[in-house]
């Protein structure tokens, strides 16, 4: 009986702890304070994990980062969140952003003072971890070269006109001597390969688990429901992780215009 009672008590505690948003929206000051404590504890664990793994050479205090994120929540209010997943996802993204902002600010100070052994002028300095360097935009690639790499001359012309010059289907067809339907079919056939080509530099620099997310959601265009099920995530968690990867890893590699082009390759476009 004692074990059963303990099990029921643990279940009640877990259920209670999951209702953070409910507590934040409560009119009871004690409930609000309790919810903030629970959220802070959760975010401290998340920040600690980031700083020990993804940013493993960055010396930041997780408590300071989390306090800053929670302070922003307090100022803006919790009524903008749709549900618990939305709250958790956005707050974790806020913590990640705080970490990235502080890393960038620190790196800018180091660049401004190279004579003091800063990152850029000290070849013996190991510097930040690879994910941090990607987040800071150290790597950049020519999107056109990525897309055209390995294509035959006909496909190169199609991609150059239809994607890089952004001509409509009719104009592309007139220049290449193809019907509108032929242009559409050939580009449709190329899309998966082009998405993979654009993300190849990213694939070589991220963790295997991170590439799995990008591969399923971007290259293979799997539905959010199916990808989340395969990855063992909720759709909200998957959306948060995909957004993070695009912002932290993809955008620094290919830039804003490259991301816009990638979105065209994922969705519908005028060609």
Name the band, by pLDDT with cuts 50, 70 and 90, for residue 193. very high
Burial class (CB in 10 A: 0-12, 13-18, 19+), 86: middle
Look at residues 200, 202, 230 and name the one whose alpha carbon lies nearest to residue 217: 230
pLDDT digits (tens, 9 = 90+) for 27-77: 888 888 888 889 888 888 888 887 876 666 566 788 888 888 888 888 788
pTM, 2 dp: 0.53
* Mean confidence (pLDDT) of the chain: 78
């Amino acid at each position: 009986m004692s074990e059963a009672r303990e099990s029921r008590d643990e279940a009640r505690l877990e259920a209670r702890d999951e209702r953070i948003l409910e507590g934040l929206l409560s009119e009871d000051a004690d409930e609000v304070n309790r919810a903030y404590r629970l959220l802070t504890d959760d975010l401290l664990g998340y920040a600690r994990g980031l700083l020990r793994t993804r940013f493993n050479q960055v010396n930041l205090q997780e408590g300071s980062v989390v306090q800053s994120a929670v302070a922003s929540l307090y100022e803006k209010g919790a009524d903008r969140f749709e549900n618990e997943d939305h709250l958790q996802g956005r707050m974790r993204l806020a913590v990640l952003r705080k970490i990235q902002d502080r890393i960038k600010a620190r790196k800018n100070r180091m660049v401004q003072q190279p004579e003091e052994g800063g990152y850029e002028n000290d070849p013996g300095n190991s510097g930040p971890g690879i994910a941090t360097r990607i987040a800071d935009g150290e790597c950049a690639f020519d999107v056109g070269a990525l897309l055209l790499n390995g294509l035959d001359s006909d496909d190169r012309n199609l991609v150059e006109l239809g994607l890089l010059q952004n001509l409509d289907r009719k104009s592309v067809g007139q220049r290449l001597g193809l019907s509108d339907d032929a242009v559409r079919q050939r580009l449709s056939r190329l899309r998966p390969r082009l998405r993979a080509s654009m993300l190849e530099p990213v694939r070589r620099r991220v963790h295997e688990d991170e590439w799995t997310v990008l591969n399923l959601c971007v290259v293979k265009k799997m539905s959010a429901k199916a990808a989340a099920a395969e990855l063992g995530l909720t759709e909200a968690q998957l959306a948060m992780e995909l957004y993070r990867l695009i912002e932290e890893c993809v955008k620094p590699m290919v830039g804003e215009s490259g991301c816009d082009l990638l979105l065209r390759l994922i969705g519908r476009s005028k060609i």
